[in-house]
Structure 1
Amino acid sequence: MLPFEIDFFEDKISSGGKMGEAKRRKATDANYGKIPKIRPKRGLIVSPPIEIEGTTLHAKSSNLDPQELRFGLLFWDELVWPSSRAIYFGSGPDEQFLESTGILTRPDYTYNGDVAQGILRGQIQAFQDREQAEPGSWALSQGENSLLLKGGLIQENQGALLELHRAIPVPTRDVPLAEILEFKRRRADELLLLRTHLDSFVGEIQRAEDKPAALEKLIEEIDSACSDLLKVGKEWQFPVYLSNLKASFSLSPTKFLPAVMGGWKLAEPYGLTAASAVATASGLASTIEVKGDFGFRSVKRPVSPYRYAFHAHEELR
């Protein structure tokens, strides 16, 4: 468990009968005491939109997808894009800007032999190197607009997928990166809270004696965190998409959740009431579901997510 923030304000009652600052915050702020006092760095291994199947590599672009890049920048502190001398993808203006800030780095991972497998090996090795140095702090970005892997290292039903449907705001591809960095500075608590709940999802359920109660509590916390993010998303001065977020764990769901538990069924969406109330413009409910997912044969990590993906739906108005 992460150590949590303790408010050391002195609890005094004023002559007007008002509560002390700590009591006032506890009574009015649903997230009071939930934000980790120690804010661990989180990193993401990123890739241009490339598809790898065996020895075949298909690249849609030589740059990072602008939408994926903004998604990664919003939720992670450090981005790593492995480079290779065998097939070099150059940095564009967005990537160069983030390199100048130190947020994005491009370490060399060149391997002899097949180019497609060399690029894949570079992605996996970059992840493993950083995960070994900072356990539980790193993840891979994967999906149609980043790295899409077919066959090879994939093992079906060796992982669990937690998916939030239409529950998070993500800046559109045209939003200046500097604007996102400023938003992160101002809204660090809301962003960190959602990531903290996702990171601890499996571990909290595994440790709980009453697993149905733990699951219900975690869903409520994720719902609240998504609602808070959607609220501030509506306040942004730039366009924002209502999006899905997928977090993959290297543990089969049957290892920590029975097939049916407290009315919960795997692969069945359940409503996020608070988030749905904020995202009313979409006309569709925000939901959460847990289902089986593939895992990597060569990737072993703690119970925090090792792989993330997102899908933008429509503009959040």
Structure 2
Amino acid sequence: MVKAVVLGAAGGIGQPLALLLKANPLVTELGLFDIVNTPGVAADLSHIATPAKVEGYLPADDGLAKALKGADVVVIPAGVPRKPGMTRDDLFKINAGIIKDLATGIAKAAPNAFVLVISNPVNSTVPIVAEVFKKFGTFDPKRLFGVTTLDVVRASTFVSEILGDLSLSKGVVVPVVGGHSGVTIVPLLSQSTHALPSSLDKSAYDALVNRIQFGGDEVVKAKNGAGSATLSMAYAGAEFAAKVIRAVRGEKGLVTPTYVNLSADAEGASDLTKELGEELAYFSANVELGVEGVVKISPLGKISEDEATLVKAAIPELAKNIQTGVTFVAEAYKTEEPRL
């Protein structure tokens, strides 16, 4: 029996994500929460012939706690999508308070759930969730994940395009490390399961890296003010959630990049920190999943000079993003006290 919960289930990511989770035969219960429209989304999904029983809740009458009751996996796509001209700082100012409130709800109603954060900017929102959990005494670094799967999906797709065969895309695996925005996204193309063409020159390589790093901008521009990456993000979020569900049900050997608190695996973190040459609290790396969540954080391994340069450029931005999330919660609790 697996109960999955989507917080922000009526939004552009939330609805298709909820649909994909409803279609997952391992999900037996699906709880949906948002500030509007959730009962209608739940009613619509409930007609689909799959095992999951669906219920939708609004904020009134303690809806968040009801949605979260008994949750095994909580996925958070809630918040405002990025629009043209909006910086990630702008996005943080809008979404930080939303994430803090939802994290408080999880700490109270589902402290043992696996929490998967999609809401941007992930580099900062994951630390917000962690800091809230720490205040409530419920923080387990093995159970908190930033969903970076979209970067991996994009890398697989774009590499298969360069290879001239999109049918390869499901088999192309490119580790993507660092974080989940701009220069913090570091695709390790040298470790791709499918080598890039030897004819690919430096400018084409740089263009590929840039497209993986700033693929979200491509979508925002194409939608012309009507939203950001929602369908691809929902797909990526459902893919990652499915792997977490499979792992917690006992499947072994599942490894995927995800943005985690490095204290989840002290030994792995030590090896990774030596490679980075600097200590960070959070980093996206290949992570082995298991019944307790994070089992092992993998080191970068052998990388190219170009990739080493990208990692070096990512570190100061990541450190800044992490501190932004930590500081936000610290400032918030100067005027309020967390209460269970």
Larger radius of gyration: 1
TM-score, normalised with respect to structure 2: 0.29
Larger RCO of the pair (alpha carbons < 8 Å, separation 6+): 1
